[in-house]
């Protein structure tokens, strides 16, 4: 793509909207280079360093190129969403843009490039997405909502020029010392299990991403079914609580800092991720309620939760979830997961050669390995070679 000779970024943006688009990885790189112009030495270059926004990490650098290839392969397969109705088109476009934003392949200029990319896709499909008319704050806010929480409804509304419903930004119940509160719910009839705070926090870190997804799906379903406020309000408050940076994991860290000891959540084997997180969080809330206001204010100022536990990398979370839901064949075909799946296959083969292992035990070992690898993928420092090496070490211990 040859950019027109323009002196300002606004002129380049306007001109590039009408240029012939190329919806490929190379096309996005060329679009970025044309938009930034010659003075920028990073123009059109995939970043090789870590990048974050407000503490939330974008895609790990070695995974950027294969992630872009996968994203544009999906776009090509759907023919840039041209067969969809207007509402479905903008929903699909919002999802595409937010997933590219989670990757953020460039050191600078990601959001401007994606705004222009969205306009080009809309124009190619016969629609109009006037992202240039949006304020920077509005664009940033909806991108952040999609990036962190995979909630694409707000950006779809902005792209098609519709007002954003208030329920897309749920508000938490705020209690003492500014901590978010979990809304009241019926006590689970399940058996109460003793959990150390450290173990409870570990379980929260494992289940919280999925619990947030389930809470959001619940709010969307209630909204679509025109449920009353008596149902929608508590569901929205649960979602806001789970999204809050000082939510369950932070509060578990506060109790851990004062050696609180143990909690007794009511858990059942059939609990979903949302139900499990809610029960653990409710037990943690009991411990928080026992502290004085002064103690809580002191802990809020002094407790430092590791950045990944509270924020982390939404893109890596997406990859981990995809790895777990894919079939073995799909993982082998995906360059991002091929080494991971080979590690699972090694564990499976080794376990099956052990004649003393029952089918149930073999399945449990395979499932455990897949979840361990998914946890490694969620870490932004994860490298495929490290995963393979770690799995090889586990192979020797199976049996």
- Structure tokens belonging to residue 357: 């292992």
DSSP at 397: T
3-state secondary structure 251-286: HHHHHHHCCCCEECCEECCCCCHHHHHHHHHHHHHH
> In 3-state terms, what secondary structure has residue 4?
coil
What is the chain's pLDDT, residue by residue, as a tens digit (399 residues)? 444 444 466 666 666 766 788 899 999 999 998 888 766 678 889 998 888 876 678 888 888 999 999 999 999 999 989 888 998 999 999 999 999 999 999 998 899 899 889 989 998 888 888 676 667 777 888 888 888 777 888 888 888 887 776 666 677 788 888 888 888 766 666 678 888 998 898 889 888 888 988 988 888 888 878 788 788 888 888 988 888 888 899 999 999 888 888 998 888 878 899 999 999 999 999 999 899 988 898 888 888 654 334 446 778 888 888 898 899 999 998 888 888 899 899 888 888 777 767 888 888 888 888 888 888 887 654 444 444 444 444 333 333
390 burial via Cβ count (<10 Å: 0-12, 13-18, 19+): middle
CA 339 to chain centre: 22
Q: Which helix (H) or strand (E) holds 52?
A: strand 52-53
Q: Hey, where are the domains in the chain?
A: 9-166, 173-310, 326-395
Q: In Å, how far are 76, 166, 221, 238, 307 from 229, measured between CA atoms?
A: 41, 13, 13, 14, 35
Which CATH fold would you assign to the domain 9-166? Fic-like fold (1.10.3290)
For the chain, the residue count is 399
């Amino acid at each position: 793509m040859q950019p027109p000779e323009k002196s300002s970024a606004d002129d380049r943006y306007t001109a590039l909207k009408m240029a012939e688009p190329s919806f490929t990885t190379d096309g996005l790189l060329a679009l970025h280079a044309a938009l930034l112009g010659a003075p920028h030495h990073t123009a059109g270059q995939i970043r090789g360093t870590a990048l974050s926004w407000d503490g939330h990490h974008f895609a790990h650098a070695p995974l950027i190129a294969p992630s872009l290839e996968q994203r544009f392969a999906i776009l090509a397969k759907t023919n840039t969403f041209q067969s969809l109705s207007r509402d479905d088109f903008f929903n699909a476009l919002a999802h595409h843009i937010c997933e590219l934003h989670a990757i953020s392949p460039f050191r600078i200029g990601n959001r401007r490039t994606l705004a222009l990319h969205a306009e080009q896709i809309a124009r190619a499909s016969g629609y109009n997405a006037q992202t240039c008319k949006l304020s920077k704050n509005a664009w940033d806010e909806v991108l952040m909502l999609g990036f962190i929480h995979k909630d694409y409804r707000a950006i779809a509304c902005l792209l098609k020029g519709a007002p954003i419903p208030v329920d897309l930004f749920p508000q938490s119940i705020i209690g003492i010392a500014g901590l978010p509160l979990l809304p009241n719910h019926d006590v689970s009839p399940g058996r109460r299990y003793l959990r150390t705070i450290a173990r409870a926090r570990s379980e929260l870190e494992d289940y919280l991403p999925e619990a947030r997804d389930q809470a959001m799906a619940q709010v969307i379903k209630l909204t679509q079914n025109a449920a009353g406020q008596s149902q929608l309000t508590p569901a929205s408050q649960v979602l806001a609580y789970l999204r809050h940076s000082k939510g369950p994991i932070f509060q578990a860290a506060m109790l851990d800092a004062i050696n609180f000891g143990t909690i007794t959540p009511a858990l059942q084997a059939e609990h979903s991720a949302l139900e499990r997180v809610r029960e653990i969080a409710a037990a943690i809330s009991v411990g928080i309620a026992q502290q004085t206001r002064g103690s809580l204010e002191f802990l809020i100022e002094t407790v430092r939760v590791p950045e990944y536990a509270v924020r982390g990398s939404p893109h890596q979370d997406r990859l981990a979830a995809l790895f777990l839901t894919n079939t073995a064949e799909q993982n082998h075909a995906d360059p991002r997961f091929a080494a991971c799946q080979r590690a699972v296959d090694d564990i499976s083969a080794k376990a099956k050669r052990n004649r003393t292992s029952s089918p149930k035990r073999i399945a449990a070992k395979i499932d455990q390995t897949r979840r361990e690898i998914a946890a490694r993928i969620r870490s932004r420092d994860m490298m495929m070679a490290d995963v393979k090496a770690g799995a090889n070490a586990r192979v020797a211990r199976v049996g």
